[in-house]
Amino acid sequence: MVRRVLSLTAVVVTALLLQSTVFGQLRLLGVRPELLYLVTIVIALLEGPNEGAVVGFAGGLMQDFLMNQPKGITALTLTLLGYAVGMLRQFITSPSPLLPTVVVGVGTAAGIAFYEIVSLLLGNLDMTAAYGVKVAVLTAVYNAVLTPILYPLLRRISEGSRPRRVVRF
Amino acid sequence: MATRSRLRSTRLLVVVLVTASLAIITIDYRQGQGGPLEGLGRGAQTAMAPLQRAAETVTRPVGNFLSGLAHLPSLEGDNQTLREQLADAQTQLTTDQELQQRVATLEDLLGLRGTLDPEAVPAVVIGNGVSNFDWTITIDKGSSDGIAVGQPVVTGSSTSPRLVGIVVSVTPVSSDIELLIDQHFQVAGRLSTSGETGLVQGQGEQDLSMGLISPDAQVDLNSDQPVEVFTVSYEINGEHGRFPPDILIGEVASVVKNSNTLETSVTVRPAVDFSALQYVLVLHTGRSEGGPG
């Protein structure tokens, strides 16, 4: 259990760190990837709604604290995203290796759209609908492209930290 | 039975987490500056700063290389434009030198003080905003180096500064800078050609918008000289603006056509390339906390 919490914390902190340094400069068409969305969706896919919601909440809150924006909106978005993806997991039966990529893409777009709507309702975001859609779509594509690289890594970490794992010699 | 109870506990967990998020949003909205969440946030930033600094040192070359790749198609054109500009600039330089001497003599005569406070703290950019809706950077200097909220941040040198943004939060070891492209950023600007003033506002990834310019102002974008926008200093009821005068904000990119005859508005391309920003100068102005630009 402790091992599990530690490795998930390490994943979230690393994602935040990369997000605020290297991926901040790697903008494509003015948009950067959202690693925390990717991590939340992949963990929810691998582990289920409980872990998805908790990782989403913790990661979102940490990201909120590093932003010059009202706190709590990312935490809310990622909690719901993690839970939703975790619940949807039971309806997905396709064994396709492309599955995580598609889920990350769709999930990111939905999550960003939700974040934009909440920010807009709180009067914090001032932008045109076209720009909002552009950010959601491009971020989703960017995240989807990163998934084949990061998914195997996250799966290894998540499986390695599972309790009662089989030890092979 | 077991599945159902696990489902129920998951639902309970989500309800608790969502409630917690909503509570945080509400508290953050009501507390304003200096509440308990603000302190927590500052703690998180302080803890992250050394990690960011380390990560930045390691990943900067990789980031530079990859963002260079992303810009590759436009490099050829840029190169050509720059060559032409260089030729123009060299001819300009000869005439300018003469003018410069005259200006220097006149300034000495008038006893003008340098427009910028000589106290400027150089800092290294160690992090960028973490989301697509947050146009900020993190620098490696904080309150222990005398940086305070509200101080203007520029790049270039103290003699030809370009505006970067303003300090919005400080920890002892790092500070967050709101970039001038942030949607909440406002600064008073002056057109280099006509001297007309207006209000420059950030628009995210798009060019800045500058409104409230007098409708009679003539903005001629077809001449050889680009129309540049600089900060202005002003004083209202004894309160000075946050920015020292004559810091370059950017260059007018287009004039916005509209039927409104009460004001002219233009779009302004920032003078700073924020994706490649590495070093900045934080200016110690006399006044720090305060209202818009």
Contact across the interface for B20 and A75, Cβ inside 8 Å? yes
Averaged confidence pLDDT in chain B: 81
Q: Give the pLDDT of residue A108.
A: 96
**Does the pLDDT value for residue B210 go beyond 80?**
yes
Radius of gyration of chain B (CA): 23
Judged by CB atoms within 8 Å, which residues 148-177 of B form the interface with A?
A: 168-169, 176
CB A54 within 8 A of CB A44: no
A115 located within any domain: yes
Helix and strand counts by DSSP (H, E) for chain A:
7, 0
Calpha distance B31→B112 (Å, rounded): 44
Q: pLDDT tens-digit profile of B143-200?
A: 998 899 989 998 886 667 889 999 998 999 999 999 999 888 989 998 888 888 889 9
Q: What whole-number percentage of chain B has pLDDT above 70?
A: 85
Shortest CB distance from A25 goes to which of B18, B45, B128?
Answer: B128
Q: pLDDT tens-digit profile of B220-240?
A: 777 777 888 888 877 777 677
Domain carrying residue A29? 2-159
A169 located within any domain: no
A50 CB-contact burial (10 Å; exposed 0-12 / middle 13-18 / buried 19+): middle
A168 located within any domain: no
pLDDT band at A167 (very low <50, low <70, confident <90, very high): low
CATH number at residue A115: 1.10.1760.20
Q: Give the pLDDT of residue A142.
A: 92
Pair type for strands B152-156 and B161-170:
antiparallel
Calpha distance B120→B118 (Å, rounded): 6
Rounded to two decimals, the ipTM of the complex is 0.84
Arithmetic mean of pLDDT, B12-32: 88
With an 8 Å Cβ cutoff, is B183 touching chain A? Answer: yes
Q: For residue B127, what is the nearest residue in chain A, using CA coordinates?
A: A21
- Pick among A68, A73, A127, A145 to test the B interface (most B CBs inside 10 A): A68
Q: Any alpha helices (H) in chain B, and if so which ranges? A: 2-31, 36-110
Shortest CB distance from A79 goes to which of B18, B37, B133?
Answer: B18
With an 8 Å Cβ cutoff, is B56 touching chain A? Answer: yes
Q: For residue B137, what is the nearest residue in chain A, using CA coordinates?
A: A20
Chain B positions in Cβ-Cβ contact with residue A49 (cut-off 8 Å): 10, 14
Full DSSP string of B170-213: E-SS-EEEEETTSTT-EEEEEETTT--EEEEE--TTSPEEEEEE
A93 located within any domain: yes
Q: Give the pLDDT of residue A123.
A: 80
Q: Give the pLDDT of residue B157.
A: 67
Q: pLDDT tens-digit profile of A41-88?
A: 999 999 989 999 999 999 999 998 888 778 899 999 999 999 999 999
Residue B237 is classified by DSSP as T
Contact across the interface for A122 and B29, Cβ inside 8 Å? yes
Residue B272 is classified by DSSP as S
Chain B positions in Cβ-Cβ contact with residue A30 (cut-off 8 Å): 205
Chain B positions in Cβ-Cβ contact with residue A86 (cut-off 8 Å): 10
Q: Give the pLDDT of residue B124.
A: 87
Longest dimension (CA), chain B: 91
Identity of the amino acid at B136: T
Judged by CB atoms within 8 Å, which residues 3-42 of A form the interface with B?
A: 13, 16-22, 24-28, 30-32, 34, 36
**Does the pLDDT value for residue B288 go beyond 60?**
no
Contacts 24+ apart (CB under 8 A), B180-185: B180/B208, B180/B249, B180/B270, B180/B272, B181/B135, B181/B205, B181/B208, B181/B270, B181/B274, B182/A68, B182/B134, B182/B135, B182/B136, B183/A125, B183/A126, B183/A127, B183/B135, B185/B135
Q: Give the pLDDT of residue A169.
A: 59
A150: enclosing H helix or E strand: helix A129-160
With an 8 Å Cβ cutoff, is B14 touching chain A? Answer: yes
Nearest partner of A77 among A40, A51, A33, judged by Cα:
A40
Q: Give the pLDDT of residue B112.
A: 46
CB B189 within 8 A of CB B197: yes
pLDDT band at A40 (very low <50, low <70, confident <90, very high): very high
Contact across the interface for B275 and A27, Cβ inside 8 Å? yes
With an 8 Å Cβ cutoff, is A158 touching chain B? Answer: no
Arithmetic mean of pLDDT, A86-92: 88
B292 or A66: whose pLDDT is higher? A66
Bridge partners of B236, per DSSP, are: B239
Arithmetic mean of pLDDT, B97-123: 67
A140 located within any domain: yes
What's the token pair of residue A156? 């290894």
- Pick among B3, B8, B18, B21 to test the A interface (most A CBs inside 10 A): B21
Q: For residue A126, what is the nearest residue in chain B, using CA coordinates?
A: B183
Q: pLDDT tens-digit profile of A95-146?
A: 788 899 999 999 999 999 999 999 888 887 777 788 889 999 999 999 999 9
Q: For residue B129, what is the nearest residue in chain A, using CA coordinates?
A: A20
Shortest CB distance from B21 goes to which of A48, A76, A139?
Answer: A76
A161 or B293: whose pLDDT is higher? A161
Chain B positions in Cβ-Cβ contact with residue A67 (cut-off 8 Å): 129-131, 134, 136
What's the token pair of residue A164? 């009662």
Q: pLDDT tens-digit profile of B64-92?
A: 776 677 677 777 788 888 888 888 888 88
A165 located within any domain: no
Q: pLDDT tens-digit profile of B244-273?
A: 888 899 999 888 877 666 778 889 999 888
Calpha distance A82→A8 (Å, rounded): 14
pLDDT band at B286 (very low <50, low <70, confident <90, very high): low
Q: Give the pLDDT of residue B40.
A: 81
With an 8 Å Cβ cutoff, is B16 touching chain A? Answer: no
A1-36: buried (b, 16+ CB within 10 Å) or exposed (e) per residue? eeeeeeebeebbbebbbbbbbbbbbbbeeebbbbbb
CB B284 within 8 A of CB B158: no
- Pick among A65, A135, A145 to test the B interface (most B CBs inside 10 A): A65
Calpha distance B71→A29 (Å, rounded): 10
A79 located within any domain: yes
3-state secondary structure of B40: helix
Pairs of residues, one from chain A and one from chain B, whose beta carbons lie less than 8 Å apart: 156
A164 located within any domain: no
Measured in whole angstroms, the distance separating CA B272 from the mean position of its chain's CA atoms is: 8
What's the structural domain count of chain A?
A: 1
What dihedral angle (degrees, nearest 10) is formed by the CA atoms of A151, A157, A158, A162?
160
**Does the pLDDT value for residue A163 go beyond 70?**
no
Contact across the interface for A68 and B169, Cβ inside 8 Å? yes
**Distance (Å) from the C-alpha of residue B170 to the closest C-alpha of chain A?**
12
